[in-house]
Structure 1
């Protein structure tokens, strides 16, 4: 029901709202870039501060006291910079229309991911793929080890999660596993699908990044992926 309401709200969005959203998203990206610059600068300052801190025993008391005061001042500056960054990020994300991903989705590396576990009832593979299409996305196509680690980290938060549907199938030709973007299974990463059989045409993802062939009629959670 909540997702249906979100879709109806999206249909009622005016051109002005769309422009506002685009502006806000651009603002968020700028803020993130500025925040990253500030944080890196602060870390460099702190590193230089500690690297140049006089540790020799022959340093006189006056110099040591002056150094301690300088270190305290620099640390306070680092703390203030971090606080300012937190305020900037909080202020930039107050408008719900300006979030990089829809409600219930997770942002990672310019992509939005939806993990259905605990949010939707389990579905069959085709139904999961249809859900993703209805939300301008597709079942997740995993393109590198970093993305696999990210998805695995999310799955690890649900210890009783048996598997998750992803966008990999050999329905067109038995034994030829293709991602939903049309590429071969090993186009992005080396890997194989375990338990392959004629009646198992859909792949699911399990712990450790392992892929297993399953019946497409089995019910389970799934992961969608879309651009942010």
Structure 2
């Protein structure tokens, strides 16, 4: 077992209680889902999206009221009391809609991501630490495939920072497998979606060598080449 795998094994289990989930139950639930359940889920998600959009519109309206208030007062001589009443009404509507959104989101049928997955910017992410045993790169990729996802493809600095933030919360994994490999042609690193490593961001892979064909992500947004046979944690990614 490699040094990187042993370091992870020694620290495994710390923080696991924060995100414990039974993935087998999740798979069983998915198999038992009926067309009616799927339709209900889609409808509920649609409602959540509509409510969320409305909340954003109301929030924008509040901003317009705040910024436009002085101008309105100058042009139409609207009293300060009337402006305050309008603002209070908008704030009340915003609170009501926010409460409605939270209520809808609590329905299990409305979850944007499966249990154990994190939602961020219209995508769902699964981080294996504390939930699954470490796996080789190919095994990690297969796990993601079985859950309708892929190993993470990092497309911009915001996504990189999101993933790095999760890694900082769980210091027991200083690295994790991502969807980057040069198995097809040595030295040509490709993301899981077939794009070149620098297609989305200016990134490079350190420690590249003939026997290191899979990449892991470490602190500071750095990528390192490693043996695909080594064991480690990983990150899956899918659309919500």
Shorter-chain TM-score: what band?
0.7 to 0.9
Correspondence 1:142-221 to 2 at 5 A = 142-221=154-233
Correspondence 1:71-110 to 2 at 5 A = 73=85, 76-110=88-122
Determine helix, strand or coil for the equivalent of 2:28: helix
State the structure with bigger RCO (CA 8 A, min sep 6), 1 or 2: 2
Q: Which residue in the other structure is 1:38 paired with?
A: 58
Cα deviation digits, residues 43-78 of structure 1 (max 9, x gap) = 2223334x5699xxxxxxxx9xx73x5565455335
How far apart, CA to CA, are the structure 2 residues paired with 1:138 and 1:22? 22
Q: Which residue in the other structure is 1:130 paired with?
A: 142
How far apart, CA to CA, are the structure 1 residues paired with 2:109 and 2:26? 11
C-alpha displacement at 1:170, in angstroms? 0.9
In structure 2, relative to structure 1, the CA distance for the partners of 1:70 and 1:220 (3 Å cut) is farther
C-alpha displacement at 1:118, in angstroms? 2.4
CA RMSD of aligned residues (A): 2.2
TM-score, scaled to structure 2: 0.81
Q: Which residue in the other structure is 2:18 paired with?
A: none
In structure 2, relative to structure 1, the CA distance for the partners of 1:220 and 1:77 (3 Å cut) is farther
Q: Which residue in the other structure is 1:9 paired with?
A: 29
On the 8 A contact 2:58/2:90 being kept in 1, the answer is no
Determine helix, strand or coil for the equivalent of 2:169: coil
TM-score, scaled to structure 1: 0.85
Q: Structure 2: give runs of 5+ residues left out of the alignment.
A: 1-20
Determine helix, strand or coil for the equivalent of 1:153: helix
How far apart, CA to CA, are the structure 2 residues paired with 1:160 and 1:9? 30
How far apart, CA to CA, are the structure 2 residues paired with 1:122 and 1:77? 53
C-alpha displacement at 1:165, in angstroms? 0.8
Greater gyration radius: 1
On the 8 A contact 2:124/2:237 being kept in 1, the answer is yes
What is the aligned counterpart of 1:23 among 33, 43, 59? 43
Q: Please list every run of at least 4 consecutive aligned residues from structure 1 whose deviation after the TM superposition is greater than 6 angstroms.
A: none
